[in-house]
Amino acid sequence: MPQIETNTIARVVVDIALDREFEYRIPDSLNDSVHAGSQVVVPFGRSKRDGFVVALSGHAQHADLKEIESVVGEKPLVGESLLELSRWIGRYYCAPIEQAVRCVLPAAVRARDVSFREQLFVTLDPAAQSDAFVDALRKRAPKQATVIEILKSHGGMFLQELCRQAGTTAAVVQALRTKGAVQAGTRTVRRRPEMDREILPTAPLDLMGAQKEALDMIRTSMDTGTPPAVLLHGVTGSGKTEVYLQAIEYALSQDGGAIVLVPEIALTPQTVERFAARFGDRIAVLHSHLSEGERHDEWHRIHDREACIAIGARSAVFAPIHNLKLIVVDEEHDSSYKQEEAPRYNARDVAVMRGAREPCAVVLGSATPALESYRNAKSDKYGLAILPARVDNQKMPHMEVVDMRVEAQRNDGKPCAFSKRLIDAIHDRLAKAEQTMLFLNRRGYASSFMCPQCGYVAGCGNCSVSMTCHTQDDTLKCHMCGDVRKLPERCPECGDSAYRMAGIGTQRVETIVGKLFPKARVQRMDSDSTTAKNSHQKILGKFRTGHIDILVGTQMIAKGLHFPNVTLIGVIYADMGLHMPDFRAGERTFQLLTQVAGRAGRGEIPGLVIVQTYTPFHPAIQAARRLDFPGFYDQEIEFRKELSYPPFTRLVCVTLRSRSAERASFLAEALAKAIEPLLPKAAIMAGPAPAPIEKARGYYRFQIILRSSAVKKMVDAVRTAVGNTKWPSDVTYAIDVDATSLL
Distance (Å, whole) CA 140 – CA 130? 16
Q: How far is the CB of 701 from Zn ion (least distance, A)?
A: 13
Is 423 one of the binding residues for ligand ADP (CB under 6 A)? Answer: no
Find which of ligand ADP, Zn ion, none residue 205 binds, CB within 5 to 8 Å per kind: ligand ADP
Of 138, 219, 597, 579, the residue nearest 399 (C-alpha): 597
Find which of Zn ion, ligand ADP, none residue 560 binds, CB within 5 to 8 Å per kind: none
Is 234 one of the binding residues for ligand ADP (CB under 6 A)? Answer: yes
Based on CB atoms, which residue is closest to ligand ADP, 242 or 358?
242
Distance (Å, whole) CA 583 – CA 495? 41
Based on CB atoms, which residue is closest to ligand ADP, 128 or 267?
267
Find which of ligand ADP, Zn ion, none residue 237 binds, CB within 5 to 8 Å per kind: ligand ADP
Three-state DSSP class for 138?
helix
Find which of Zn ion, ligand ADP, none residue 731 binds, CB within 5 to 8 Å per kind: none
The angle formed by the CA atoms of residues 149, 155 and 157, to the nearest 5 degrees, is 90
One of 176, 307, 327, 460 touching Zn ion (CB under 5 A): 460
Based on CB atoms, which residue is closest to ligand ADP, 379 or 393?
393
Q: Which of residues 408-437 bind Zn ion (CB under 5 A)?
A: none
Based on CB atoms, which residue is closest to Zn ion, 463 or 711?
463
Three-state DSSP class for 11?
strand
| CA 679 vs CA 181, 653, 673, 706: distances in Å | 78, 14, 11, 9
Is 458 one of the binding residues for Zn ion (CB under 5 A)? Answer: no
One of 76, 90, 239, 383 touching ligand ADP (CB under 6 A): 239
Q: How far is the CB of 392 from ligand ADP (least distance, A)?
A: 7
Amino acid, single-letter form, for residue 49: R
Helices (H) and strands (E) in the chain, counts: 22, 30
One of 35, 102, 240, 296 touching ligand ADP (CB under 6 A): 240
Site string for ligand ADP, 362-401 (x = CB under 6 A): -----------------------------x----------
Q: How far is the CB of 483 from Zn ion (least distance, A)?
A: 5
CA diameter of the chain: 94
Distance (Å, whole) CA 163 – CA 158? 9
Based on CB atoms, which residue is closest to ligand ADP, 237 or 586?
237
Of 530, 526, 603, the residue nearest 558 (C-alpha): 526
Residues 469/501, Cβ–Cβ less than 8 Å: yes
Q: How far is the CB of 238 from ligand ADP (least distance, A)?
A: 4
One of 237, 553, 570, 586 touching ligand ADP (CB under 6 A): 237
Is 241 one of the binding residues for ligand ADP (CB under 6 A)? Answer: yes
One of 205, 356, 454, 686 touching ligand ADP (CB under 6 A): 205
One of 21, 242, 332, 510 touching ligand ADP (CB under 6 A): 242
One of 214, 259, 478, 675 touching Zn ion (CB under 5 A): 478
Q: Which helix (H) or strand (E) holds 594?
A: helix 585-597
Q: Which of residues 481-510 bind Zn ion (CB under 5 A)?
A: 481, 483
Tell me the backbone φ, ψ of residue 220, rounded to 5 degrees.
-60, -40
Distance (Å, whole) CA 648 – CA 457? 40
Based on CB atoms, which residue is closest to ligand ADP, 238 or 468?
238
Find which of Zn ion, ligand ADP, none residue 425 binds, CB within 5 to 8 Å per kind: none
Based on CB atoms, which residue is closest to ligand ADP, 93 or 275?
275
One of 176, 425, 480, 739 touching Zn ion (CB under 5 A): 480
DSSP category for residue 346: B
Based on CB atoms, which residue is closest to ligand ADP, 4 or 207?
207
Residues 588/742, Cβ–Cβ less than 8 Å: no
Kindly tell me the sign of the dihedral angle through the C-alpha atoms of 315, 321, 323, 324.
negative
Find which of ligand ADP, Zn ion, none residue 207 binds, CB within 5 to 8 Å per kind: ligand ADP
One of 236, 506, 507, 530 touching ligand ADP (CB under 6 A): 236
Distance (Å, whole) CA 711 – CA 694? 27
Find all residues with CB under 8 Å of 605, minimum gap 6, and list them: 434, 567
Is 206 one of the binding residues for ligand ADP (CB under 6 A)? Answer: yes
Residues 394/359, Cβ–Cβ less than 8 Å: no
* Contacting range for ligand ADP; rule: CB under 6 A; set: 204-212, 299-307, 463-471, 506-514: 204-212
Q: How far is the CB of 589 from ligand ADP (least distance, A)?
A: 21
Q: What is the 3-state secondary structure (H, E, C) of 493-528?
A: CCCCCCCEEECCCHHHHHHHHHHHCCCCCEEEECCC
| CA 523 vs CA 89, 293, 520: distances in Å | 43, 34, 10
Residues that bind ligand ADP (CB under 6 A): 205-208, 211, 234, 236-242, 391
